[in-house]
């Protein structure tokens, strides 16, 4: 069973949002009904997450594999019940009724079960949950299976996985005959569920009933593995079988069990996003924890933002069981990055040695996504207007009572739009004014601003500077000294002006003409 979901897919160093079919899981509550001392008892046995479908097979296989029943004959019926609930409107409760067979292990029914999809010993809370079954050696007269048959079986299994072909994310178990022909197949998100479904189906179709073996009886040997044992820990024990008719006839068999290595890892990062100036680097510290029961070697891979040169401090880290290790990712912002530049997603993967060579489909892998943004750099240069000849005007002479304008320039040397405020220093006379409105200057661009002066001060030189302040407020630039010389009325050549392109203010010559005309009219009135 599957459903369509919106997912984030990473491919070819980029992410995309797509709709994809995903195999689903739903909880299944398993209850048993059995007779004990002439009284029928109904008891919850387990709750498991499974992919809906073939639930009856799942229960039959689970009861058989957990040795609650020895044969399909011990199960009287398996039926779903209760209301249809959940997103997919299905019945998520199932009742298995057992007959009063002496082969039913009532003691195991009273034990709590936790079903998960972890590997082997992994996830078991104690050795009670682990059973090692002693099987008879294969009889030499049994049919032989060729290596070719074994090699081609996975391909045949995959070709018949209908759910896997749709979702690409589900386990399967298959039953083959000695000729390599597929007899039965079951799929489930949980690999153990898939096996339980397969075995349950084989039982109901009489494919796994034990065959009579003259003088041979299969026994079970159980181990309880203490929690926290390190990988590689070995324990040996023996079992003795004694004839009930002649206690001198006995046979002792020695067994040993070794704790398999379980792999597990987790990873954290000290920051998800950093900001840094163009041309500079920033570091992310990744901490990887070994949650397995043995020493592990973690290997790393980084993907994304190739132009930002992401690099890891080391390609692998050796970490003891229960310990942590660190790795550092360094990302460099391009020197020409604008203020709104962002690296995008940079993904760091950590793989356990349990993955082996297959990094594409591994259960022991974690990843984290980080990103870097470029800071805005504030850098201003303030100066004087340069005319077409390249001459810089840093002084001007004007007759008293006349108006005059001068030009200053502001250049944005930063990597983003800057809102610049202009002001005059403390030496500027009161009759010199400049607009208090901020101006926007794009990166790499220059803006020209006018300074207006009504020469009403004392005769002589008046020297001051213009200050440009960035929107960052910490970055300023000051022009060189600007001098306005006021001369006596009627002397000299009058105000010195210069034309500036795109200047909508009245021309300096017009201002002078207005002033001169006023003087002429006054003289006529007096005469």
**Residues identified as active-site:** 119
* Cα dihedral 509/510/516/518 (nearest 10): -160
Q: Which residue has 């070995």 as its token pair?
A: 234
Comparing CA positions, the residue from 96, 91, 37 lying closest to residue 66 is 96
CA 371 to chain centre: 11
**From the CB of residue 472, how many other CB atoms can be counted at a distance below 10 Å?**
15
CA distance 13 to 346: 9
In the three-class reduction of DSSP (H, G, I as helix; E, B as strand; rest coil), residue 143 is classed as coil
CA distance 291 to 231: 12
CA distance 171 to 363: 13
Comparing CA positions, the residue from 498, 388, 382, 386 lying closest to residue 441 is 382
Q: From residue 525, how far is each of 512, 514, 519, 520, 521 by CA, in Å?
A: 21, 17, 10, 9, 6
Which residues are within 8 A (CB) of 41 and not within 5 positions of it... i.e. 6 or more apart? 33, 34, 35
Q: In terms of C-beta distances under 8 Å and separation of at least 24 residues, what long-range contacts does 116-124 make, across chains too?
A: 116/49, 116/190, 116/192, 117/49, 117/189, 117/190, 117/191, 117/192, 117/193, 118/262, 119/262, 119/363, 120/260, 120/262, 121/225, 121/259, 121/260, 121/262, 122/262, 122/264, 124/225
Beta-bridge partners for 407 = 450
């Amino acid at each position: 069973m599957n459903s369509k979901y919106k997912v984030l897919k990473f491919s070819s160093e980029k992410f995309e949002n797509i709709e994809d079919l995903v195999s689903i899981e739903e909880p299944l509550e398993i209850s048993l009904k059995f007779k004990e001392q002439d009284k029928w008892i109904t008891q919850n046995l387990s709750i498991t997450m499974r992919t809906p479908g073939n639930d009856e097979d799942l229960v039959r296989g689970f009861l058989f594999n957990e040795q609650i029943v020895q044969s399909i004959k011990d199960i009287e019926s398996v039926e779903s019940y209760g209301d249809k609930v959940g997103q997919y409107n299905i019945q998520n409760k199932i009742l298995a009724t057992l007959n009063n067979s002496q082969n039913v292990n009532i003691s195991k029914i009273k034990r709590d079960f936790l079903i998960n999809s972890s590997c082997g010993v992994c996830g078991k809370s104690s050795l009670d949950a682990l059973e090692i079954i002693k099987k008879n050696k294969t009889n030499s007269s049994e049919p032989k299976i060729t290596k070719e048959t074994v090699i081609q079986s996975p391909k045949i299994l995959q070709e018949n996985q209908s759910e896997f072909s749709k979702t690409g994310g589900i386990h399967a178990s298959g039953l083959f005959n000695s000729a390599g022909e597929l007899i039965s197949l079951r799929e489930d998100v949980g690999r153990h569920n898939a096996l339980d479904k397969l075995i349950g189906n084989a039982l109901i179709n009489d494919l796994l009933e034990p065959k009579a073996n003259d003088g041979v009886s299969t026994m079970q040997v159980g181990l309880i593995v203490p929690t926290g044992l390190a990988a590689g820990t070995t324990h040996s024990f023996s079992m003795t079988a004694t004839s009930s008719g002649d206690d001198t006839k006995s046979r002792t068999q020695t067994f040993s069990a070794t704790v398999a290595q379980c792999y597990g890892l987790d990873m954290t990062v000290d920051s998800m996003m950093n900001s840094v100036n163009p041309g500079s680097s920033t570091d992310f510290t990744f901490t990887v924890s070994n949650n397995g029961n043995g020493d592990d070697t973690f290997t790393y891979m980084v993907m994304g933002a190739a132009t930002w040169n992401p690099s890891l401090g080391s390609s692998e880290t050796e970490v003891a069981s229960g310990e942590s290790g660190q790795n550092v990712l360094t990302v460099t912002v391009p020197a020409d990055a604008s203020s709104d530049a962002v690296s995008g997603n940079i993904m760091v993967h950590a793989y356990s040695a349990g993955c082996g060579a297959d990094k594409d489909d591994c259960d022991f892998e974690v990843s984290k996504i980080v990103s870097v943004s470029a800071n805005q750099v504030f850098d201003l240069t303030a100066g004087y207007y340069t005319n077409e000849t390249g001459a810089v005007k840093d002084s001007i002479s004007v007759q008293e009572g006349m108006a005059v304008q001068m030009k200053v320039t502001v250049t944005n040397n930063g990597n983003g739009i800057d809102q610049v405020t202009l002001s005059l220093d403390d030496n500027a006379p009161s009759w010199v004014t400049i607009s208090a409105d901020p101006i926007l200057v794009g990166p790499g661009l220059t803006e020209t601003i006018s300074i207006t002066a009504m020469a009403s001060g004392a005769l002589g030189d008046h020297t001051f500077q213009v200050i440009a302040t960035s929107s960052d407020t910490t970055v300023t630039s000051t022009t060189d000294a600007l001098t306005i010389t006021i001369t006596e009325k009627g002397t000299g050549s009058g105000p010195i002006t210069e034309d500036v392109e795109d200047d909508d203010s009245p021309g300096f010559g017009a201002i002078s003409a207005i002033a001169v005309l006023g003087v002429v009219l006054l003289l006529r009135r007096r005469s």
